Structure 1
Amino acid sequence: MQIYEVDRVNEHGGSFIVRCINGIIHRGQSFAPGTTDQDQLTDFLITLHRIERYRRDVEFFDPQHTARVEFSWKPAASLTRWHELPQKKSWVSIPGCL
């Protein structure tokens, strides 16, 4: 997911216009800002609480679409335009195992 526009931010989180660039984005999903090495950022996860498309709430949206989303994360003001938010992996890759 990529930030296209910062709509508003406050001490509890923020509202952003975003573009889905990889995979399906679901409400309740967590993201790791700042790096693509998600395993290093477990203390700094952003939780997506709301997705709005065409002035109505939806549960998900997919690549190449945009939406207004709300995150719960205090330092949301540090997110800027074109900032990419990699999805937090829910599984761990073990080298040498298939």
Structure 2
Amino acid sequence: MDKMEENRIQIVSVELQASDQLTCVVRCVGGVVRVGQNFAPEHQDDREDAVRSLLTLEQIDRYGRSVEFFDAPHGAKISLSVNEPSVDLEVGMILHSVP
């Protein structure tokens, strides 16, 4: 089974950034990304900051089909629910999975 900390995605574009939801195109850069996983920006080493900016992967769309997972080096359009409304995603940002 894949290690949780190896699951990483890189933001390619941000299509929707609302207070409670984000929709973006990403590329998997490590591990296997699955619906239901929690993510935080990679630069946040402080566990408390990571929990505050927690993003939960709600949906994965690959070429118009809803899927449960995808792996590197593939891309997908994803929907994330937002725990903290002030989370700002930028192109090139890496998100890593957190428990």
When normalised by structure 2's length, the TM-score is: 0.80
Task: Name the CA distance, whole Å, in 2 between partners of 1:60 and 1:34.
Answer: 20
Q: Percent identity?
A: 34
Unaligned runs of 5+ in 1: 91-98
Bigger share in strand: 2
User: Per-residue CA shift, 1:59-81, capped at 9, x if unaligned?
Assistant: 000000000000111334x1010
Q: For 1:2, which of 2, 6, 10 is the aligned residue?
A: 10
3-state SS in 1 of match to 2:47: helix
Deviation at 1:86, TM superposition (A): 1.2
Mark the runs of 5 or more structure 2 residues left unpaired by the alignment: 1-8
Aligned residue among 21, 36, 49 for 2:58: 49
- Displaced runs of 4+ in structure 1, greater than 2 A? 36-40
Q: How many residues are matched?
A: 88
Residue 37 of structure 2: aligned partner: 29
For residue 5 of structure 2, what is the aligned residue in structure 1? none
Q: Pick one of 28, 34, 41 that aligns with 1:20.
A: 28
Question: Per-residue displacement from partner, 1:18-46 (whole Å, max 9, x unpaired)?
Answer: 00000000001001125253634223211
Query: How has the CA–CA distance of structure 1 residues 46 and 85 changed in structure 2, closer, same or farther, with 3 Å as cutoff?
Result: same
Alignment match of 1:66 (pick from 67, 75, 78): 75
Structure with the greater alpha carbon radius of gyration: 1
SS at match of 1:42: helix
- TM-score normalized by the length of structure 1: 0.81
